[in-house]
Amino acid sequence: MYKSPFLSSIYDEMMRRRYAKRTIETYLHWIKGFILFHNKQHPSLLSDNDVETYLDFLVLKRNVAGPTQALVLNALNFLYKEILQKPLSLELRFVKSQKPRKLPVVLTRDEISQLFAQISANYYLPAALMYGSGLRLMEAVRLRVKDIDFDYCCVRVWNGKGGKHRTVTLAAELKNALQNQIKRAESFLAHDLNNPDYDGVWLPHALRRKYLAASKSLDWQYLFPSDRLSNDPEDNALRRHHIDETGLQKAIKSASHKAEIRKIVSAHTLRHSFATHLLASGADIRTVQDQLGHTDVKTTQIYTHVLQMGGNAVRSPFSSLGV
């Protein structure tokens, strides 16, 4: 997968340890950047000072935000502790990013309606769950059939960001569409079971060992299955994966352009809008925190800042001029 034998060995080790594909790609991206920054020297020949220099460069020259710098440090910590067995010092000294966190882009309810009027039918439902239940992009595409609880009108999110589980609200208006989507997943499964090479849907290894038949049961199939079978990079098994997240991202951006929304809209904008609209309708911030899966309420409070801006908080003195 990687031309560098060293990077390939890190990839193989992270796969062996069951790291998420996205985490592997991100860590390897920054480890490669670290190596290139130091003129392709092997990391075993570099030291804490070289790590500090790279982190300083990212802030002073690349102007990365604090969370990005922290992510790079996590990647390099993994490299030195787990791969090279030379843990970094706990007292690294580097310039910490002071780049302020951006306020989230939030759509009005009218803009949300306009966007959904334009979105492709193939991506309407996962996008609706992102806005209606506050799901992250990968949480939406990774949903399994069993994660939809129609009786209690909720969605169960397993292993979200930080490996956390949570239960979120489900819009009753989406029930019929979800039931039809489950029938679609069931149709795919029936077709796949007739294929002697089909190895079932991907499952975490502990579950794979505990529930031997689960990979070919409807409950464990992805709610939004891919249109085609593919080989699992982990073991080359023939499986049906979930839809590609980039397709959903593109569909949301395309819909925003068609709706002529004059804001920079991304998939995450739907989650931002969910949180802001909940707070605007009177929901308690702790409730919103639970729905979003935030560990710290301070992360959730950024949405109160959006509501407090402009006319929502202060009457402009211009309004008193009478002109």
Write out the catalytic residue numbers: 136, 161, 268, 271, 294, 303
- What are φ and ψ of residue 101, in 5° steps? -70, 135
**CB burial readout 257-272, b (16+ within 10 A) else e:** eebebeeebbbebbbb
Q: Which two tokens stand for residue 106?
A: 């939030």
Report which residue type is found at 241: H
> Rounded to an integer, what distance in angstroms lies between the CA atom of residue 20 and that of residue 79?
16
**Cβ-contact 149, 170 below 8 angstroms:** yes
Write the DSSP string, 247-266.
Answer: HHHHHHHHHHHHTT--S---
137 Cα distance to chain centroid: 5
Report which residue type is found at 100: P
Contacts of 77 (CB under 8 A, 6+ apart): 87, 88
